[in-house]
Amino acid sequence: MVRTPLTQEERERGEQLGRLLRAARGERSMVEVAASAGLSAETLRKIETGRAPTPAFFTVSALALTLGLSLDEVARACVLMPAPA
């Protein structure tokens, strides 16, 4: 099965998600947060760096719960504003 290439918007949204999660993690270690969310540290690293820009809903949900974020906060943070005309 061939994966459809991501659009620029999807990549940017993934980067936004990564920035939000990094900021919410604060001083907590990546290993601690990943373990609390039931993920590997490498998976969290890929999400935070934008290398996994479209993680599964339940992955995002587990991270949000672990980091004390609501899914509404996550959704708002990942909405891209159109460039001014």
Mean pLDDT to the nearest integer, 14-25: 95
pTM over 0.85: yes
* Coil/strand/helix, residue 51: coil
Q: What is the pLDDT of residue 80?
A: 66
Number of Cβ within a 10 Å radius of residue 51: 13
**Residue pLDDT, tens place only, 24-54:** 999 999 999 999 999 999 999 999 999 998 9
83 secondary structure, DSSP code: P
Q: What is the pLDDT of residue 58?
A: 97
Long-range contacts formed by 7-13: CB under 8 A, 24+ apart: 9/80, 10/53, 10/54, 11/50, 11/53, 12/80, 13/53, 13/78, 13/80
For all residues of the chain together, what is the average pLDDT?
91
